Amino acid sequence: MPFAELMAALEVLENNPALTDPACFSARADAQDELEVLLLDGLDSLQADTPTAMLRSLRSRVKALQTRFVALDHQLFTNLQAGIRAGEFTPESLRSQLLAYAGPPSLEGLPATGYDSLDALTNGLFPEPAQLPAPEEREPEMVYYQKTPARIIFELAAKLTPKDILYDLGAGLGQVPLLVHLLSGATARGIEIEPSYCQHAQACAAALNLPQVQFQYADARTADYADATAFYLFTPFTGSILQQVLARLRELAQQRPLRLFSYGPSTGALREQLWLRRLDAGKHAYQMAEFQSIL
């Protein structure tokens, strides 16, 4: 892209008043992508033909605008966190507000496991450590941490009520229990075998004043599920471990009805369980699946 076009593109972003509104998160995320892809990459391609001083000045303006956008996003996250701590949101009002900031979930053209601006927003709401703790050595059938896309958590929360007690098996850094509780009012518990992950997740719940969200450092095969009404699995383990956990859940289902929600390859294993009936008409693994016990 010629230097003049880069300058014009930057000026459009600099002079767009909508991008300075803290609530315009989605538009700002798109602008950040444009800065990264079009401007910074374009500047690199102009190194040989453009005076160094001009490039330095333009690069400085790009960096300044990026810093400004980050500060606006931080202000938005801080305000949301303060509102959550103060109990200002109902599940419905928070859902509406988050969707207004991030825009509706991106389904068209998005990979099955892809992330969108709703994930960027929830990542800021529940920030990860600057450096993700190194996981301890684990059994080969235990799957390493990967976040559930936020749009799937929104779907899950819509299926729950304040009467539910959801257990997230393999809760990682805690986003599913935190967001499920905030969007549904359900009590949410995370079971996580990595102690550093569990400590971080519990600290997030405490910082947001969410006593109904708790995390337990435990093996899913032996954890206490005495009060559970529902479970969520994003393939936290496979093979014999998954079968042992499902055997425990089958025993629970003989005592009271249970619902199981899944995303990813674990859906196939749930579909094979004769004591479960699938309630949705899903066609592939990477969409939320809902099962009901029938014992």
Band (9; pLDDT cuts 50, 70, 90): confident
Note the pLDDT tens digit of each residue in 202-241. 999 999 999 999 999 999 999 999 999 999 999 888 889 9
Q: Confidence class of residue 137 from pLDDT cuts 50, 70 and 90?
A: low
Residues sharing a CB contact under 8 Å with residue 230, sequence separation 6 or more, in sequence order: 160, 164, 165, 166, 167, 186, 258, 259, 260, 261
**Res. 51 pLDDT band, cuts 50 70 90:** confident
**Mean pLDDT lowest for which of 55-59, 191-195, 205-209?**
55-59
In the three-class reduction of DSSP (H, G, I as helix; E, B as strand; rest coil), residue 231 is classed as strand
What six digits make up the tokens of 4? Answer: 């003049």
Show the CA angle centred on residue 228, arms to residues 154 and 204, nearest 5°: 55
Mean pLDDT, the chain, as a whole number?
Answer: 89
The residue-averaged pLDDT of 270-285 equals 92
- Work out the average pLDDT over 149-158: 96
Q: Is the pLDDT of residue 48 over 60?
A: no
What amino acid occupies position 69?
F
Domains and CATH numbers, the chain: 3-88 (no CATH), 117-293 (3.40.50.150)
User: What is the per-residue pLDDT for 238?
Assistant: 87
* Cβ pair 184, 91 in contact under 8 A: yes
Find the range with the poorest average confidence among 89-103, 115-129, 139-153, 159-173.
Answer: 139-153
Nearest to 232 by CA among 249, 218, 257, 255: 249
Q: Is 0.85 topped by the overall pTM? A: yes
Q: How far apart are CA 146 and CA 115, in angstroms?
A: 12
Mean pLDDT of the 5-17 span: 89
Q: Tell me, what's the pLDDT at 145?
A: 74
